[in-house]
Amino acid sequence: MANSNDFNPADNIQDLQYFGEFGGVNPSISDSSTYTFLSAKTMFDTFEGDAEGCYLYSRHSSPSNLYLGEALAAMEGTETANVAATGMGAIVPALLQLCCAGDHIVSSRTIYGGTYAFLKNFAPKLNINTAFVDITDIDKVEAAITKNTKVIFCETVSNPLLEVADIAELSKLAKKHGVKLLVDNTFSPLSVSPAKFGADVVLHSLTKFINGSSDTMGGVMCGTQEFIDELRNVNDGASMLMGASMDSMRAASILKNLRTLHIRVKQHSKNAMYLAEKFQNDGLKTVYPGLASHPSHEKFKKMMNAEYGYGGMLTVDVGNLDKANELMELMQERNLGYLAVSLGFYKTLFSAPGTSTSSEIPEEEQAEMGLTDGLIRFSIGLDNNIERTYKMMRECMLKVGVL
C-alpha cells in the first residue's frame, strides 16, 4: 500500500469503473460455464496459466467473479482476490493451500463455529493439527508456535465473544516465525483493514454484511497475486480443485450490494453504538467494541477506519438460556428482529450462540472461554429510528424480567 494514511476502503471501491458490453453502467454478467478459444494454442497456454485475460471454465474464474474479486481486493488493499461460493469455501481452501499433512496451525479459540469444527474435527484427519489459544495474549500465541506451524488464524473481531485481535502484533510474530497470518474480517468490513497491519490473507464470508441482504452465500480470500494464482492453479490449486466456486450471477448481484456497504456499515455501527450504551446504562452485561468498558476498545480504536464505526455486532448476557430464549421470542413477536443465525441483515438478527452457531464447541470449552448460555448475540439492523427500537426492546426486557 503506497500511503496507508490515504487508504479508504469505500473510496477504493467507488473509484472502480466497469462498463457492460453495450455501455451498460453495470458490467455484463458472464452467463457461461465455458469459453471458446480462437486457437488451440491459446487453450493450451491457458491451462498452463500463461494466457493473460483468457477464460477457460467458470470453476477457474469468470469475468463476473473477477470484477467482484477486484472490488474486494480494492476494499481490503490487497493485490488481488478470489471469490468463493461460501465463506467456508474461502477459508478451507486458503488453509489447505498453505498446510500439508504434518503441518500445524495456531488459531484463536473464539472463532466462527464452522471454522472451529473444521480445524478441530476435520483437519486432523489430514494430519493437520491446531492449537487453540487466547488470541489477545500474544505470549500464549507465540508459545503455541512449533517448528511445523504454517499459519496463525484469527478473526479481527471474534465470533461470538467480540474479542479483538491485534493484527499488527500478530503480523510481527508471524513474520518472526516465517508463518502466514490469515484474518477472517467478516465482522468488521470497512471498519478494519487487516492487510494494512500486515495480514497476509484477509478472508470474508460475503453472506453477512458485505452482501447484506441474507439472500445468498459467498466468500472471498484477498491476498497476493502469487497466492491467488496458486489457489486457482489447475493442477494443485485448492480453490480450483475443491470446487467451491461462486456462480457468476451471484457475483454480479453481490457486486451491486457491495456499493452500498459503506452506508450500511455506518448505520449498523451507529445503531449498535446507541443500543450498547443504553443496554450498558440499564445494567445489562453488554459487550461492544465501541464501549470504553470493552477490554480491547483502545486496540480497536487504534486499528479502525474511524468513519465506519465499531460495527453492528454486540452481545448481551441475560443470565441463563431460558431468559435468553424468552426474550428473543418476544422480540421476534414484536417484530424487533428475527431469531436467526447469520448477520449483516437490514433487520436485527439474534441468537444464543452457545446452543446455535457455537454449539460445535464442547460445553466445557465454552465455559473456559467465557461463552455463557445466557449470551445473546445481536446483529443490529438498519433501523431508521433506533430510539424507538430501544424503547420497544426495553419493554420486552422488562416483561421477561432481565431488567
Residue 378 touching ligand PLP (CB under 6 A): no
Q: What is the DSSP letter of 157?
A: B
- Using the contact rule CB under 6 A, the part of the chain among 48-56, 64-72, 164-172, 200-208 near ligand PLP is 200-208
Q: Which is closer to ligand PLP, CB of 119 or CB of 217?
A: 217
The cell for 33 is 460455464
Minimum gap (Å) between residue 257 Cβ and ligand PLP: 14
- Using the contact rule CB under 6 A, the part of the chain among 70-78, 120-128, 184-192, 286-294 near ligand PLP is 184-192
Minimum gap (Å) between residue 207 Cβ and ligand PLP: 4
Q: Which is closer to ligand PLP, CB of 112 or CB of 227?
A: 112
The cell for 67 is 470484477
Measured between alpha carbons, how far is 17 from 27 in angstroms, rounded to an integer?
Answer: 9
Q: Prior bond to 124 cis, omega within 30? A: no
- R_g of the chain computed on alpha carbons: 21
Give, as ranges, the residues between 267 and 326 that touch ligand PLP (CB under 6 A): none
Whether the CA torsion 270, 275, 276, 277 is positive or negative: it is positive
Q: Which is closer to ligand PLP, CB of 155 or CB of 383?
A: 155
Measured between alpha carbons, how far is 185 from 83 in angstroms, rounded to an integer?
Answer: 14
Q: Which is closer to ligand PLP, CB of 328 or CB of 349?
A: 349
The cell for 371 is 461463552
Task: Give φ, ψ of 162 to 5 degrees.
Answer: 60, 35
State how far the alpha carbon of 63 is from the alpha carbons of 75, 186, 250, 275, in Å: 18, 24, 12, 42
Minimum gap (Å) between residue 292 Cβ and ligand PLP: 25
Residue 188 touching ligand PLP (CB under 6 A): no
When CB distances to ligand PLP are compared, the closest residue is 87
Task: Give φ, ψ of 163 to 5 degrees.
Answer: -75, 150
The cell for 294 is 470493552
Kind of pairing between the strands at 201-205 and 180-184:
parallel
Q: Which is closer to ligand PLP, CB of 62 or CB of 379?
A: 379
Q: What is the DSSP letter of 184?
A: E
Q: Which is closer to ligand PLP, CB of 112 or CB of 132?
A: 112
Residue with grid cell 453488554, as numbered in its chain = 286
For the chain, helix, strand, coil in percent to 5 are: 40, 15, 45
Q: Which is closer to ligand PLP, CB of 12 or CB of 356?
A: 356
- Using the contact rule CB under 6 A, the part of the chain among 30-38, 179-187, 285-293, 362-370 near ligand PLP is 179-187
Residue 207 touching ligand PLP (CB under 6 A): yes
Minimum gap (Å) between residue 39 Cβ and ligand PLP: 39
Q: Which is closer to ligand PLP, CB of 201 or CB of 402?
A: 201
Residue 219 touching ligand PLP (CB under 6 A): yes
Measured between alpha carbons, how far is 245 from 287 in angstroms, rounded to an integer?
Answer: 36
- Using the contact rule CB under 6 A, the part of the chain among 25-33, 117-125, 161-169, 204-212 near ligand PLP is 204-212
Q: Which residues bind ligand PLP (CB under 6 A)?
A: 86-88, 112, 114-115, 155, 159, 184, 186-187, 205, 207-208, 217, 219
